[in-house]
């Protein structure tokens, strides 16, 4: 992968529940603690539509390629151009796991 291919800025986020101060919890997505905004190459894989309980549901799959990092999991998500993408799989590639290919999907819930 040529570093010049990493032309899109994405933000990596994690879901967390925190105390609300009155005995309950608040659930929200927040940016990863370390370097949440990174450069990525983006490649569309395709989309599909399906009928669920009489409604049309559309999904779209994208592969984001970023430099390797160890703090990202399939439970996290990516924000790209204002749209949230749920991570479906992470593939480490390269001789020393230099790059990550992250398959992510929009249009579905976590």
- Position 30 scores a pLDDT of 92
Q: Domain boundaries in the chain?
A: 3-106
pTM of the complete model: 0.81
Q: Are 36 and 69 in contact (CB under 8 A)?
A: no
Radius of gyration (Cα) for the chain, nearest Å? 16
CA angle 48, 87, 32 (to 5 degrees): 145
- The reported pLDDT for the residue numbered 108 is 65
**pLDDT tens digits for 62-107?**
999 999 998 999 999 999 999 999 999 999 876 667 899 999 999 8
- What does the pLDDT read at residue 85? 96
Element (H, E) at 86: strand 83-93
Residue 3: predicted pLDDT: 72
Q: What is the DSSP string of 13-46?
A: EEEEEEE-SSS-EEEEEEE-SS--EEEEEEEEEE
Distance CA 6, CA 108 (A): 26
CATH of 3-106, one of 2.40.10.370, 3.40.50.880, 2.40.160.40, 3.40.50.720: 2.40.10.370
The predicted pLDDT at position 20 comes to 87
Checking if the pLDDT of 13 tops 60, the result is yes
Average pLDDT over residues 9-17: 94
| Tens digit of each residue's pLDDT (9 = 90 or more) over 23-66 | 899 989 999 989 999 999 999 987 666 666 776 667 889 999 99
């Amino acid at each position: 992968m040529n570093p010049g291919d990493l032309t899109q800025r994405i933000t990596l986020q994690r879901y967390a529940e925190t105390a609300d101060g009155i005995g309950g919890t608040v659930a929200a997505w927040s940016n990863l603690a370390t370097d949440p905004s990174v450069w990525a190459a983006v490649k569309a894989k395709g989309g599909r539509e399906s009928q669920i309980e009489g409604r049309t549901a559309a999904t779209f799959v994208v592969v984001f390629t970023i430099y390797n990092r160890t703090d990202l999991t399939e439970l996290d998500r990516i924000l790209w151009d204002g749209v949230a993408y749920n991570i479906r799989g992470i593939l480490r590639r390269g001789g020393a796991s230099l790059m990550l290919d992250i398959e992510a999907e929009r249009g579905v819930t976590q």
